[in-house]
Amino acid sequence: MPRRRRPEDQVNQLLDELLADYSSPEQILGKQGLLKQLTQQVVERALQAELSHHLQSKTEPVPSEPDRPGKRQNSPNGKHHPLL
């Protein structure tokens, strides 16, 4: 059975492959450089994952004011509602 590589080794190998195509600092750090592209992709994937998680999570609806247990009605003696 083949031995699994450590995550650090995989990251280093991927970085070496990416950087082989770029020869100048401008290509790596410039306005449209590799670093900006990678950052944009990471942020977009994180936001997409967060949105997917948010849409998949099942939350219970918050009960309306009168239905909330322990919440008193806003009336001075319990019989009449205040006039606003």
The residue with greater pLDDT, 66 or 47, is 47
Q: Above 60 in pLDDT, residue 75?
A: no
Q: Is 17 helix (H, G, I), strand (E, B) or coil?
A: helix
Answer whether 0.85 is exceeded by the pTM: no
Residue 42 near residue 50, CB atoms below 8 Å: no
Spatial separation of the C-alpha atoms in residues 66 and 75, rounded to whole Å: 12
Average pLDDT estimate for 8-34: 93
- DSSP state string for 20-68: TT--SHHHHHSTTSHHHHHHHHHHHHHHHHHHHHHHHS--PPPPPGGGS
